[in-house]
A and B are shown apart, each in its own frame.
Chain A
Amino acid sequence: MDFQVVVLAGGFSKTLVPLVSKEVPKALLPVANRPVLSYVLELLEQNNLKDLIVVVESESAALLIGGWISSAYVDRLHVEVAAVPEEIGTAGALRAIDHHLTASDILVVSGDLVCDVPPGAVAATHRRHDAVVTTMLCSNPVSGSTESGSSGGKDKAKKHYNIIGLDPTKQFLLHVASGVEVEKDVRVQKSILREVGQMDIRADLMDAHMYAFKRSVLQEVLNQKEAFQSLRRDVLPYLVRSQLRSELLLNGVQSEENGNDKDASQNPKIVLSQLLANASTPSFHELHALGPNGFSLSPRKTHKCCVYIASKSNYCVRLNTIQAFSDINRDVIGDASHISGYSFSAQNNIIDPSAVLGSKTTVGPQCMLGEGSQMGDKCSVKKSVIGRHCRIGSNVKIVNSIVMNHVTIGDGCSIQGSVVCSNVQLLERVVLKDCQVGAGFVVTAGSEHKGESLAKKEK
């Protein structure tokens, strides 16, 4: 179908410290005991997209991710892992792999996306409208049960809003503003508003970071605007802003006929394109291009920015905050269990056969227990994910938490709404509430923590 897929896997994200570490880049964070990247790769594989480019920030992360991909998808996918320098931004990453892009359209997917929306739908919308960029929007995740699972205070302060303007048919993107910009006034471009006549402003939609770009346009924009760093913050708003006064050289017929002679009736190509334009319901782009009287001799250049809005029934979340990390983990083994690919037991949980449970230990529904894990007596696990080869003592309570691999938990601990990374040791009677414990950390016996982020000092 002439599409190339680029997965932006990121590197060692700063917002996710202490979950990510030198050993675990963002893409390999476990979601229901599988790296988050595997969800994207499997979604693509299901849709018959087997030639992928995975772009990773920093060499060391690329080595880790490349190693994991080659072991997990050795003969299923054809993946090229490209390493780009850190802090280069999504746009920069694409600029760096510019020479790899050959197909007519590029599908850019964020590696931290956990969703079940077929990428084909985005691509099809893109093709149907012959758009320059098509972005997938999904409804904002309801940050469920904030009290129980609330995470570190710092990303809570900065509320993440997206203001998205759509045309009445909900097919075209007219306005994007996000994050900090929203704190200021919302400025809507008059020219666009005048052409469209009506704009729906939505705050309940989230950019899912799945874009389809026209390659020629993407490359042109990236080359011309050196300062652009991020697709979401720079490239997309630029394309949306300039959609009615396009400076892009769109390939194909349009640019040709713009430059050509003025005698419209003589050129069969123009007649033909007019014929096609007449028959289809014109979008405001075409109306604008034709000018105020419908017969401008040199049509104004326009390009289309489309959206695909995932339906509410689809699951679509990005793992970009610690809050999202615990939400996704909970959802994947809970409400959105079809994504996980596991088969659930009758009790609606997954307990690996090799796991050992002590007497009077209960594992509630929507829980997951990885292989080789051992639990002592009288433990209780609710709505939590426990990784592989954990050793958990007796009388331990784990609620709404994520415990990664090789964690040792002493007797009498209580863990609530927390994330415990790999190789952590919790000594006896530790009480954690809404904490994140970085990899390899040792929590002293009897300590109580609430809403803290515990990690080893980086050397």
Chain B
Amino acid sequence: MDPRRYSRVIDPKVRQVGFCPRSGQVQNQSGPTGPSTSPPVSHISPSSNSLSPVMIPPPRHPSDAASRAVNVPATATTPLRPRRPSFDDPNNNSSSTEQLVVSSYNPDESVLGTSPPFSGIGDDRDGDAESEFSDNSVNWIRQNDSGRFPLSLAPDGRFDSAAAKEKQSKKPQVGSRKERGGGQTAEVRNDLPSESKPLKEKTSKAERRALQEAQRAVKAAAKAGGNKSKAASLSAHEQTNKAAKLPLQRKDDGPVTSSAAVSERRGGERPPEKDRKKDAPAPRMQFDDKNRVEKAKKRSVVKQTEARNRVELFRHLPQYEHGTQLPDLESKFFQLDPMHPSIYKVGLQYLAGDIRGGNARCVAMLQAFSEAIKDYSTPPEKTLTRDLTAKVNNFVSFLIECRPLSISMGNAIRFLKSRIAKLPITLSEAEAKSSLCSDIERFINEKIVIAEKVIVEHAVTKIQDGDVLLTYGSSAVVEMVILHAHKLGKQFRVVIVDSRPRFEGQALLRKLVKIGVSCTYTHINAVSYIMREVTRVFLGAASVFSNGTVYSRVGTACVAMVAHAFHVPVLVCCEAYKFHERVLLDSICSNELGDPDAISKVPGRMDINSLHDGTNKENLQLLNLMYDATPPDYISMIVTEYGMIPTTSVPVIVREYGREHLLI
């Protein structure tokens, strides 16, 4: 984590964030959070003001902390030293060394103060911002290549092995961090020239293909060799990763220095890992693979016509002629016997676009599953566990045909399946069913409803009188945050940035204006103008990946980037059940394509709809992308129900609480 830690541009806001056992967190949730309730923070960093995002007090003893696999406060202090000297920015040098040591103080802090952003930062804006940007691109690369996620580029979800590697390589890093501290700067610097170039190439399709191929081979080999040849496979992985320009040195001492620790750890963890392997979905369908598409079509329920003229880079994503699916599915209403009506209804609503938004889709799906389970009865000579799992798989594949699943839904399905698999055999059918239903209800309640409440409690502390909040589109959580802040009597203004074609922000706007919040409504084209007056950016997320990438409605990345350029803190509100251990680097590998007509048609403007007539032209390709990936650099913090965390701490949540999904 060290390389990622100090490279973070937005350090000041995240540096003190600790991650601590839940006992501390519970206390924090109950009381109002702020500097007064987190004394450890305020004494670590003299510069921290009420803006400190820390919700969770860091561990009491540094020694204790160091022994933990991942400990952010402890790591934050060490790696900063080597970096600063190389950073010949007058502003940074002017800051006191003491602050550097304890808290990685960065003059950008002033931007984040409660004072209007443009009053005091004129001087450091130029120099600092520039250096940040140049530094930024470097960080971005380095962080990707940190070797922790060697399979980061695999477009198909092969996180099982990625997760395994992650575990192996994480420990060694912690162990070797201190000894390497001094020489690291040089090493890293040396890597830079070679690293910064291939960024473009990485995203090219051919290379991804090649990488994927290589990984496939490696995986096969690893499987054949079993656990004994883990080391061998690791080195093989290195080979592949070298293709992806991964720095070598980290890998080399990884397995060697702490193989004992790793093996010890692995021994304890085998069963859950096995489970995970089982739960991991099969590699995602690549829709540019003609044979497989044909095969899939044969067994699909919904008749879909593949859209022609798809954009080259996005051929691997499904895109169908819009408007053919719904009537077809409707007419088959009575012919789909095995499908439970509630599942069917939800699928129909996905397809028609009646239900949108990650949470709503997930809740609707879970409720439908719950209904289906209630009406389920085990056929004779079959066991409930097996048969129900098959049923659920059926349902899921039907829902995927209606609309690709979101990450949060994938997590929820994983949860449900693991609950089914873990049902004791002694349970009678009725008991098993009721236990599953109550599990689902609890998942919805704990992971979504209560989580949102806690997030609102956390996020509201970041809104102060006189703030100007900016939000993009319409996120349910952000809306709740704003409503709650208004209820608390805070005086603030909201800027709602919206975009075509859905204009989701208008619904939010209507609600806010109704209750009397002063609002500004603009489109994303004007975001660079409006950002000058903004003091906070609140965003929602469809998913957060373990490298800190936030996957959200298309346009979010743009807003976050502009906010970053203007030194406005970006807060992403996201429930922890949307976190995923996969790593996402670009918006290409996994995304969703919407109806291309939506962007080519402008309702009510006959004069400029000439584009629409040419939809079927050979040389016209319309791209209606649904999501984009916001790099972690642009995000100041992520507000989850476990506290406010920096993007670097996402893997911790995934690791520490990810399993809890399966075990609650």
Chain A interface (Cβ < 8 Å from any Cβ of B):
1-3, 47-49, 118-121, 123-125, 127-130, 268, 271-272, 275-276, 278-282, 293-295
A279 with B356: in contact, given A268-B445, A272-B363 (CB under 8 Å)? yes
Of B354, B445, B450, B511, the residue contacting A280 (CB under 8 A) is B354
**Partner of A276 from B334, B364, B445, B514 at Cβ < 8 Å:** B364
- The 8 A CB mask of B350-362 against A (1 = contact, 0 = none) is 0011111101110
Task: Known contacts A279-B356, A294-B515; decide if A1 and B334 are in contact (CB<8 Å).
Answer: yes
Q: Which of B173-181, B337-345, B611-619 contacts A (4 or more CB under 8 A)?
A: B337-345
Chain A residues with CB under 8 Å of B38's CB are none
Q: Please determine whether A120 and B332 come into contact, CB atoms closer than 8 angstroms.
A: yes
Q: Are B330 and A276 in contact (CB under 8 A)?
A: no
Q: Which residues of A contact B452 (CB under 8 A)?
A: 271, 275
Q: How far is the CB of B413 from chain A (nearest CB, A)?
A: 19
Asked if A127 and B344 sit within 8 Å, CB to CB, the answer is yes
**Beta-carbon contact of B348 and A272 below 8 Å:** no
Expressed in whole angstroms, the minimum distance between the Cβ of B207 and any Cβ of chain A is 38
The answer to whether B354 and A128 have CB atoms under 8 Å apart is yes
C-alpha spacing A118/B334, complex, angstroms: 9
Q: Separation in Å of the A308 CB from the closest CB of chain B?
A: 8
Taking the closest CB of chain B, its distance from the CB of A269, in whole angstroms, is 9
A282 touching B507 by the CB < 8 A rule?
yes
Other A-B pairs, 10, CB within 8 Å; known A47-B335, A280-B354 = A1-B344, A3-B334, A118-B333, A121-B327, A130-B345, A272-B363, A275-B448, A278-B479, A279-B355, A282-B507
Q: Does B476 sit at the interface, judged by CB under 8 A?
A: yes
Closest Cβ–Cβ distance, residue A216 to chain B (whole Å) = 16
Contact A124/B476 with A1-B344, A279-B357, A279-B361 known, Cβ cut-off 8 Å = no
Docked CA distance A370–B435 (Å)? 63
User: How far apart are the CA atoms of A276 and B444 in the complex, in Å?
Assistant: 12
Partner of B333, one of A120, A130, A280, A281: A120
5 nearest A-B pairs in the assembled complex, by CB-CB distance: A120-B333, A279-B360, A279-B357, A118-B331, A124-B330
B373 within 8 A of A: no
A121 touches B335 (CB 8 A): no
Q: Is the CB of B334 within 8 A of A120?
A: yes
Q: Mark B320-334, 1 if CB is under 8 A from A, else 0.
A: 000000010111111
Min CB–CB distance B437 → chain A (angstroms):
15
- CB 8 Å contact bits of B518-529 with A (1 = contact, 0 = none): 000000000000
In the complex, what's the smallest C-beta–C-beta distance from A404 to chain B, in angstroms?
33
| Contact across chains for B476 and A121 when beta carbons are under 8 A apart | no
B: contact size bracket: 35 or more
* Bound Cα distance A295, B511 (Å): 9
| A48 touching B335 in the complex, CB below 8 Å, given contacts A127-B341, A278-B476, A279-B476 | yes
Q: Establish whether residues B360 and A278, one from each chain, have CB atoms under 8 Å apart when the complex forms.
A: yes
Residues of chain B at the chain A interface (Cβ within 8 Å): 327, 329-337, 341, 344-345, 348-349, 352-357, 359-361, 363-364, 444-445, 448-450, 452, 474, 476, 479, 507, 510-511, 514-515
Residues of B within 8 A of A280 (CB): 349, 354-356, 360
Q: Nearest Cβ in chain A — how far from B418, in angstroms?
A: 23
A128 touches B355 (CB 8 A): no
Q: A279-B356, A280-B355 are in contact. Are A272 and B361 (CB under 8 A)?
A: no
Distance from B454 Cβ to chain A, minimum over Cβ atoms (Å): 13
Tell me the number of A-to-B contacts counted with CB atoms below 8 Å: 101
Q: Which residues of A contact B341 (CB under 8 A)?
A: 1-2, 127
Q: How far is the CB of B516 from chain A (nearest CB, A)?
A: 9
How many angstroms between the C-alpha atoms of A426 and B85 in the bound complex? 114
Contact A275 B363 (CB under 8 A): yes
Residue pair A275, B330 in contact (C-beta under 8 Å): no
Please state if A128 and B349 are interface contacts (CB–CB under 8 Å).
Answer: yes
> A128 with B352: in contact, given A121-B330, A276-B364, A294-B515 (CB under 8 Å)?
yes
Greatest chain B CB density within 10 A among A2, A3, A276 is at A276
| Closest-CB distance, B399 to chain A (whole angstroms) | 15
Chain A hits for B474, CB < 8 A: 278
Q: Inside 8 A of A295's CB, which chain B residues have their CB?
A: 515
Contact A1:B333 (CB < 8 A) given known A128-B348, A275-B476: yes
Q: Answer whether A276 and B355 are a contact pair too, CB < 8 Å, given A2-B341, A127-B344, A268-B449.
A: yes
Tell me if B334 and A47 are in contact (CB < 8 A).
yes
- Inter-chain contact A124/B333, CB cutoff 8 Å: yes
A-B contact pairs, 9 of them (CB 8 A): A49-B334, A120-B331, A127-B344, A268-B445, A272-B449, A279-B355, A281-B507, A293-B514, A294-B511
Chain A residues with Cβ under 8 A from B335's Cβ? 47-48, 120
A278 to B507, CA, bound (A): 9
- A120 neighbours in B (Cβ, 8 Å): 330-335
Bound-state CA distance A213–B649 (Å) is 52
Separation of A99 and B349 alpha carbons in the complex (Å): 32
Partner of A48, one of B337, B359, B360, B363: B337
Docked Cα-Cα span, A298 to B337, in Å, equals: 39
Whole-angstrom distance from the CB of B328 to the nearest CB of chain A? Answer: 10
Chain B contacts of A282 at CB under 8 A? 507
Q: Within the assembled complex, what's the spacing in Å between the Cα atoms of A2 and B355?
A: 22
Say whether, besides A282-B507, A294-B514, A123 and B327 are in contact (CB < 8 Å): no
Quick one: which of A129, A279, A280, A294 has the most chain B CB within 10 A? A279
Q: How far is the CA of A48 from the CA of B331 in the complex (A)?
A: 11
Closest chain B residue, CB of each to CB of A278: B476
Smallest beta-carbon distance A76→chain B, Å? 15
A120 to B445, CA, bound (A): 34
CB distance from A378 to the nearest CB of B (A): 48
User: Which of the residues B331, B352, B511 comes within 8 Å of A121, measured between beta carbons?
Assistant: B331
Q: Do the beta carbons of A123 and B359 come within 8 Å of each other?
A: no
Q: Which residues of A contact B337 (CB under 8 A)?
A: 48
Contacts of B330 in A (CB 8 A): 118, 120-121, 124-125
A281: nearest residue on chain B (CB-CB)?
B354
Question: Do B355 and A121 touch (CB < 8 A)?
Answer: no
Quote the shortest CB–CB distance from A285 to chain B (angstroms).
13
- Give chain B residues whose Cβ lies under 8 Å from the Cβ of A128: 345, 348-349, 352, 354
Residues of B contacting A268 in the complex (Cβ-Cβ under 8 angstroms): 445, 449-450
Q: Roughly how many angstroms separate A282 CA and B348 CA in the complex, as a whole number?
A: 16
Bound state CA distance, A121 and B510, in angstroms? 33
Cα distance A125–B332 in the bound complex, in angstroms: 12
Contacts of A293 in B (CB 8 A): 514-515
User: Within the complex, what minimum Cβ distance (angstroms) separates A413 from chain B?
Assistant: 45
User: For the complex, what is the distance from the CA of A47 to the CA of B357, rounded to whole Å?
Assistant: 33
Bound Cα distance from A1 to B372, whole angstroms: 11
Instruction: Please tell me which one of the listed residues A47, A119, A276 contacts residue B360 in the complex, with CB atoms under 8 A apart.
Output: A276
Distance between Cα atoms of A128 and B334 in the complex (Å): 14
Residue of A nearest to B349 (CB): A128
B482 to chain A, nearest CB (A): 13
Assess A281 versus B353: contact at CB under 8 Å? Given A127-B345, A294-B514: yes
- State A434–B510 Cα separation when bound (angstroms): 62
Report the nearest B residue to A273, measured CB to CB: B363
Q: Are B356 and A123 within 8 A (Cβ)?
A: no
Asked if B352 and A119 sit within 8 Å, CB to CB, the answer is no
Question: How distant is the Cα of A49 from the Cα of B344 in the complex, in angstroms?
Answer: 17
Nearest CB of B to A361, in Å? 42
**A residues less than 8 Å from B450 (CB atoms):** 268
Q: Could you say which residues of chain A place their CB within 8 Å of the CB of B507? A: 278, 281-282
Instruction: Give the residue name and chain of the A residue nearest to B450 (CB).
Output: A268
Which residues from chain B contact A119 at a C-beta distance below 8 Å?
333-334
A305 vs B507: C-alpha distance when bound (angstroms): 23
Residues of B within 8 A of A271 (CB): 449, 452
Residues of A contacting B357 in the complex (Cβ-Cβ under 8 angstroms): 278-279
* Closest beta carbon of chain A to B16's beta carbon, Å: 32
Query: How distant is A309 from chain B, measured CB to nearest CB, in Å?
Result: 12
Complex Cα gap A125–B364 (Å): 17
| Cα-based distance from A281 to B510 in the complex (angstroms) | 13
Verify A272–B444 contact, CB threshold 8 A. Answer: yes
- A223–B507 alpha-carbon span in the complex (Å): 40
CB distance from A174 to the nearest CB of B (A): 19
Q: Which of B352, B353, B361 gathers the greatest number of chain A CB atoms within 10 Å?
A: B352
